[in-house]
Amino acid sequence: MLARAKEGSWNGGQVLGYDVVSVPGENRKRKLSTLVINLTEAQTVRKIFDLYVERNGCKSIANKLNKEGHRTKKNKDFSINGVKTILSNPLYVGFIRYNGRRDWNEKRRNNINPNPVIEKGQHEAIISEETWEKAKNIMASRSGKPNRIHDGEFPLTGIMKCPACGAGMVIGRTTNKLKDGTKKVLEYYVCGAWKNKGTAVCRSNGVRTDYADEHVLKKLSTIATNKVLMQEIVERINNKKQADSSPLQHEYETLKKALQANQQKKEKVLGLYEDDLIQKADLVQRLSTLNEEKERLEERISPIELQMVQGGTQLINLSMVKQVMQNFKSAYQESLTREQRKRLMHLLIRKITINENRKIGTIQIQLNKEVAKHFTFKGGEDSSITDESSPPFSILIDL
């Protein structure tokens, strides 16, 4: 592949602006790949470079492209990173870049090669060298690292969902100027799709981090310390699970009875044949029909049995919920780093929803074998559910 790259041949897969076409190689059994300009996609690529040299930022470009209906090679909306990748790819000025990252098997994207293979390609360029140089100079002038927001500082990123599009919320900041002239930085959980792809995709739907973090912790703490409330939640969930499981159990029992009836019919047919009351041809035909019926019944029973084994009718144990919630509270308070607190939050909480008033709507707790192992005592009365041999289960509780 290095040799092909040094020849200016294309080694990669699909890329915006080009179609990959197979051509026969000289004295080679396998076909080679070459790049042919895709006229429609090339217009999008040129537009990205033109907007950039006009001093538009990557987010502004992504937003404009999405509003105008441009799509990526995979027919998706453009993101900030997607625009940056195109602007930094020498492929569009007619060069092949290869071996951009070292030790891929071990470090993957984390070890950028400062000296990648860059050779004149055998494909046609989409942009001019002048445009490429302008874009490269602008990128170099903007290469100062911005103030990075570490998501580890904010435990609800990812599990809090945008009320409009369902994307995970990430951190955004705004600066307000106060009457005395001082500036105050405000932090919000904002829609990740909006932040990465612009207003064509979604709105910010911002929720203040200080309100959201405190509200969720207070809610979880209330559950952990209020035995009556915990009992009410467990009873409500169990009543619903029993009501939901009744039709499933009824269908399972009906199908089982049908299987038993099928077996009895087989035995009856065999008895008729042994008593010389039916011919062998009749026996074969009837058994074939009964076997087909049995296969259909077993196909219907199999997913129902799986659902029942995986906890379709499993009820919540109050003592397990109590241990999980109380131990979560203790572990969270004793965590030394923000990253540890975030991990604990993501382990227990599956999803947080926001209502129309940009306030916390529901907090969905997940109870499964991993959570039980982490937050319950080994050897306790509920330890059987964490045994390797015990069936998997998953229970969701909306607070």
Convert the pLDDT of each residue in 152-173 to its tens digit: 578 999 899 999 999 999 999 8
Same domain, 287 and 364: no
* 216 and 363 Cβ atoms separated by less than 8 Å: yes
What pLDDT shows up at residue 5? 60
The one-letter amino acid at 187: E
What pLDDT shows up at residue 30? 60
**pLDDT band at residue 17 under the 50/70/90 scheme:** very high
In a domain, 291, yes or no: yes
Same domain, 136 and 159: no
Confidence check: pLDDT of 244 > 60? yes
**pLDDT band at residue 231 under the 50/70/90 scheme:** confident
Cα 324 → chain centroid? 25
In a domain, 222, yes or no: no
Per the structure, the complete domain to which residue 35 belongs is given by 2-141
What is the average per-residue pLDDT within 361-390? Answer: 69
In a domain, 95, yes or no: yes
Same domain, 119 and 44: yes
- Of 114, 118, 77, 71, the closest CA to residue 94 belongs to 118
- Of 127, 102, 119, the closest CA to residue 9 belongs to 119
* 92 and 127 Cβ atoms separated by less than 8 Å: yes
In a domain, 270, yes or no: yes
In a domain, 285, yes or no: yes
Which residue, 141, 174, 201, sits at the end of a domain? 141
Over pLDDT 90: what percentage of the chain? 38
**pLDDT band at residue 149 under the 50/70/90 scheme:** low
Confidence check: pLDDT of 126 > 90? yes
- Which has the higher per-residue pLDDT, 150 or 124? 124
What pLDDT shows up at residue 301? 86
Which residue, 119, 141, 163, sits at the end of a domain? 141
Please give the structure tokens belonging to residue 387: 């045994």
What pLDDT shows up at residue 2? 66
Compute the distance between CA of residue 313 and CA of residue 65 in angstroms, rounded to an integer.
49
What is the average per-residue pLDDT within 31-43? Answer: 88
Confidence check: pLDDT of 62 > 90? yes
Assign residue 106 the CATH number of its domain: 3.90.1750.20
* 399 and 363 Cβ atoms separated by less than 8 Å: yes
CA atoms within 13 A on the CB side of 115: 0
Same domain, 361 and 326: yes
Same domain, 170 and 261: no
Phi, psi of 135, deg, nearest 5: -65, -40
* 83 and 58 Cβ atoms separated by less than 8 Å: yes
Using CA atoms of 189, 192, 195, 196 in order, give the dihedral in degrees to the nearest 10. 160
Same domain, 137 and 8: yes
Residue identified by tokens 């207070």 is 218
Same domain, 331 and 380: yes
Q: Strands 349-354, 18-24: parallel, antiparallel or unpaired by DSSP?
A: unpaired
Which residue, 281, 312, 343, sits at the end of a domain? 312
* 393 and 385 Cβ atoms separated by less than 8 Å: yes
What pLDDT shows up at residue 317? 74
**pLDDT band at residue 45 under the 50/70/90 scheme:** very high
CA distances from 86 to 36, 60, 83 (A): 17, 15, 5
The number of beta carbons lying within 10 Å of the beta carbon of residue 284 is 11
In a domain, 232, yes or no: no
Same domain, 211 and 271: no
Task: Determine the 3-state secondary structure of 118 from DSSP.
Answer: strand
Same domain, 102 and 54: yes
Same domain, 71 and 118: yes
In a domain, 56, yes or no: yes
Compute the distance between CA of residue 202 and CA of residue 164 in angstroms, rounded to an integer.
7
Same domain, 130 and 11: yes
In a domain, 358, yes or no: yes
Confidence check: pLDDT of 112 > 70? no
Same domain, 175 and 265: no
How many domains does the chain divide into? 4
